Amino acid sequence: MKILVIQQKMIGDVLVSTLLCNNLRKAYPNAQIDYMVYKSTLPVLQGNTSIDNFILFEKKHRKSKLQFFKLIFDVRKEKYDLVIDAYSKLESWLTVLFSNATIKISYKKFGRTFLYTHNVPLSDEPKSNIGLVIERRLSLLDPLNLDIEVDVIPNLIVTKDERKFVSNIFNEYQLDRSKKTVMISIIGSSSNKTYPLEYMSEVVDFVSTKMNANILFNYIPNQLELAQVVYDNCKEETKKNIYFNLLGKNLREFIIIMDSCDFIIGNDGGAINMAKALKKPSFIIFSPWIEKRMWSTFEDGKLHDSVHLLDYLPNLIEEKTKKQLKDSSIALYPNLKPSYFESKLSEFIDYNLAEKDKTIVSTNFNELYAKHKNFPLSAVIITYNEEEHLEKCLASLIDVCDEIIVVDSFSTDKTEEICQKYKVTFIQHKFEGYIEQKNFAIQQATHNYILSLDGDEALSDELKNSISNVKPHWNHDGFYSSRLNNYCGQWIKHSDWYPDKKLRLFKKGSGEWRGINPHDSYSLKKGKKMGRLDGDLYHWIYRDYDEHKQKVENFSNIASKAYYKLGIKSNYFKIITRPSWAFFKSYFLRLGILDGKNGYRICKQSFNVTLLKYQKLYKLWHQK
């Protein structure tokens, strides 16, 4: 069997994609496994016995169409049985197209599925802490149904001779081997991936003060001027610990020097990924435009940790596209001040300085997946005098949600007392409108996934099970379910009240609460995906008919004022026709008649609230 894996990217991607080669070698020990990569990435592949041949994509293949097509036809001559395209760009499409392989696998992307025999969907969320970039890469093996224990950690091979070479370098620079040695990746691969230099100097000072270690800088010769700026801004005491000129002359020398360090701190990039492949702890400072969920591999808050502007000032990130973030990353980066993550960095250093056995990252993907906590879910509830139904609401959330937050509008009943029985974060906030209160509530959630309810709502058992099933496989930005309303003790199955679809489970930042008070709805941003949950959301709406009539008066006041603020006008035509249509639609078209006496009452009050709303709106416009 002959296999070709294509990954024409930089060091991090090439290193991660060696997992394809490693696992294919386990599954097909006698196969010929070739790897198409850039020539510049060869040092990270040195010693990898899973790869038989390297097919090098060089500058000449980009500059010359003749050389490019010569390469493609050389690939075709190999008659590969299987091609896995982890790159999936124009250059690799043509390689795949001309390869004539029996099995061709890549990611499912618009306009190119015809090139491949198997198109693997791109997962949007990680299922474990190994990182989305690795999970996506391993998903390319799914169509093969390999009967192996999948390896998830890329490896770098360092020989005994290379370790001796580094030992000599350390002796040459008179490195104090009794102290820990930390590598600091002070400069990123580009300006928009480089933490502000003055801030990086503060980080270096903090590390030096915290651990009194040997400090090595990671930079390449053409970054010498920038590296000098970081060094010059450091404190004099810190400079005594920095071995400024001790660095590898090439990529391979960096690898073997990193192998002799204790851990790495600094900008995200190839250096961090190589350190992880050498089983070194890492602390990453991510650029604002890099997706942390992709590259925060093996993050456990101990051996591996990271920080991102999104962790501290999400409002600066959430509304921007990836292109906007990339274009503005240099301007955004100064907002991530070192003081924000000093405590986190301190904990990382303390843990990795401790002389004790440290948790080893499992290499068993199934084990990692099984142990990984489901997507944590925050429940946010707005309340005002909800003592009658609140306990049912809270009790239905205990087994489903990882956090419950109640935002109360200064209730005068036992609402707060009931909350104290449960593990609830209780916040009191002035009520300015249903929409405003709900948007405030979701801002208090600490998790990225939110279930938003009112105090008189609760989850049915079927809905709870549906949410539990969604949590490990989150694949939409929001989910809706049917709401079943209880009116005067009767569950209403018709009129405008059922199925009464409500989008209440969503990802933070996917949209916002909108509408016209008192009617609110969660609206997803354009392009976001919505799914459906099974089961009903229970809603206890009115105890008796008199309460309904009182609410009609109140709701019509709120709605008329909201319409007035929006510039919506009323006239005699609307006052006559809108209420009649509301009744007809609800009672006849949507079968409110089948709910009996209460069905008629509901439709009648639908008529009344519409009538009062437009009458009061008319008065507001003509009050002068």
Domain boundaries, the chain: 2-144, 160-365, 373-542, 545-621
pLDDT range class, residue 357, cuts 50, 70, 90: low
The CATH architecture assigned to 160-365 reads 3-Layer(aba) Sandwich (3.40)
pLDDT, average across residues 128-157 = 88
Q: Which residue has the higher pLDDT, 56 or 547?
A: 56
Give the phi and the psi of residue 267 in degrees, each rounded to 5: -60, 140
How confident is residue 214, by pLDDT bands cut at 50, 70 and 90?
A: very high
C-beta separation of 458 from 437 below 8 A: no
Structural contact between residues 182 and 262, judged by C-beta atoms closer than 8 angstroms? yes
Residue that the structure tokens 């090139």 belong to: 115
- Going from the C-alpha of 329 to that of each of 194, 201, 314, the distances in angstroms are 10, 19, 14
Q: Evaluate if residue 615 carries a pLDDT over 70.
A: yes
**Residues 6 or more apart from 443 whose CB is under 8 A from it?**
none
Cβ–Cβ under 8 Å, residues 18 and 36: no
Q: What CATH number is given for 373-542 in this structure?
A: 3.90.550.10
**Rounded mean pLDDT, 147-169:** 91
| Cβ atoms of residues 174 and 181 within 8 Å | no
DSSP state for residue 446 in the 8-state scheme:
-
pLDDT for 187: 95
Q: Which residue has the higher pLDDT, 349 or 529?
A: 349
For residue 519, which of 455, 565, 564, 563 has the smallest C-alpha distance? Answer: 563
User: pLDDT confidence of 362, banded at 50, 70, 90?
Assistant: very low
Residue 279: left if φ>0, alpha if ψ -120 to 50, beta else—which one?
left
pLDDT confidence of residue 363? 44
Nearest to 367 by CA among 127, 24, 22: 127
Split at pLDDT 50, 70, 90, the class of 356 is low
> How confident is the model over 466-515, as pLDDT tens digits?
998 887 667 788 999 999 999 888 999 888 888 889 999 998 878 888 87
Instruction: For residue 354, give every residue at least 6 positions away whose Cβ sits within 8 Å of its Cβ, in sequence order, or none.
Output: none
553 confidence band (pLDDT: 50, 70, 90) = confident
């006849």: which residue's tokens?
588
Q: Are strands 82-85 and 282-285 parallel, antiparallel or unpaired?
A: unpaired
Residue 355: band (very low, low, confident or very high) from pLDDT cuts 50, 70, 90: low
The answer to whether the bond into 499 is cis (omega within 30° of 0) is yes
Let me know if 277 is exposed, middle or buried by CB neighbors in 10 A (0-12, 13-18, 19+).
Answer: buried
Q: Report the pLDDT value the prediction gives residue 354, as an integer from 0 to 100.
A: 76
Q: What is the 3-state secondary structure (H, E, C) of 282-335?
A: EEEECCCCCCHHHHCCCCCCCCEEEECHHHHCHHHCCCCCHHHHHHHHHHHHHH
CA 417 to chain centre: 36
pLDDT greater than 90 at residue 91: no
DSSP three-state, residue 425? strand
What tens digit of pLDDT does each residue of 391-443 get?
Answer: 999 999 998 998 999 999 999 999 999 999 998 999 999 998 888 999 999 98
d(CA 345, CA 208): 12
Which pLDDT score is estimated for 205? 96
Round to whole Å and give the CA distance between 262 and 614.
Answer: 72
What is the value of pTM for the model shown? 0.61
Confidence of residue 583 (pLDDT cuts 50, 70, 90): very high
3 state SS of 521: strand
State in words which class domain 2-144 has. alpha beta
Residue 356's SS3 state is coil
pLDDT, tens digit, 9 for 90 and up, residues 22-44: 999 999 999 999 999 999 999 99
181-185 vs 214-217, strand pairing mode: parallel
Instruction: For the chain, give percent helix, strand, coil, nearest 5.
Output: 45, 20, 35
The pLDDT value recorded for residue 201 is 97
Compute φ and ψ for 102, nearest 5 degrees: -70, -45
Tell me the C-alpha distance between 479 and 421, whole Å: 29
Sign of the dihedral through C-alpha 607, 610, 613, 614: negative
Whether 2-144 and 160-365 share one fold: the answer is: yes
Instruction: Tell me the pairing of strands 82-85 and 103-107.
Output: parallel
With a cut of 50, say whether residue 370 has pLDDT above it: no
Which spans in 173-249 are helix H?
Answer: 197-211, 224-233, 236-239
Q: Supply the pLDDT for residue 623.
A: 82
pLDDT computed for residue 367 by the predictor: 53
- Alpha-helical segments (H) within 319-456: 322-332, 342-353, 365-371, 390-397, 415-420, 434-443
Per-residue pLDDT, averaged over 286-308, amounts to 87
pLDDT at site 361: 47
CA distance 6 to 516: 53
Asked whether the predicted pLDDT for residue 569 surpasses 70, the reply is yes
Q: Does 126 sit behind a cis peptide bond, omega within 30 degrees of 0 on the bond before it?
A: no
Q: How far is CA 570 from the centre of its chain?
A: 45
Tell me whether strands 377-383 and 263-267 are parallel, antiparallel or unpaired.
unpaired
Structural element, H or E, at residue 133: helix 132-139
- Residue range 539-566: mean pLDDT, rounded: 84
For residue 86, what pLDDT is reported?
93
Q: What is the mean pLDDT of the chain?
A: 89
